[in-house]
Amino acid sequence: MPRTEVTQMAVLVRSKAATLVDDLPAELRGVDPMTTGQAAQALGVSSVNTIKNWIRAGYIKEHITTPGGQTRIPSREILRVRALERGLQEMPVVDELTSDELDDLSH
């Protein structure tokens, strides 16, 4: 694929990724990782139990369990799930963005 096409595709996908970040509630932009409560708010579900069920079912694939037993979800995983929920399918660039690039998108 010619470089210009790759560049145009990257710009389009990054634009869609930026929209996913822009649609987050302002208080959640730049939060990484998120608590289950923050993840529920970001994903528009009313219960942290939904988030925990999605983790058990494998819908939310990436998560961290703290030494104290609390669950945290990286913001890139929240963006991946938001993309799926919106019917955008997998957005490879979201998984490939560095944390600095995600920070740039969220500010």
Per-residue pLDDT of the chain (107 residues; tens, 9 = 90+): 566 666 666 555 555 555 555 566 666 666 778 999 999 998 889 999 999 999 999 999 999 999 999 999 998 888 888 888 777 544 444 455 566 665 555 55
Q: Which residues fall within 8 angstroms of residue 26, CB to CB, at 6 or more apart?
A: none
User: Helix 3-22 to helix 75-85 angle, to the nearest 10 degrees?
Assistant: 100
Query: What pTM did the predictor assign?
Result: 0.61
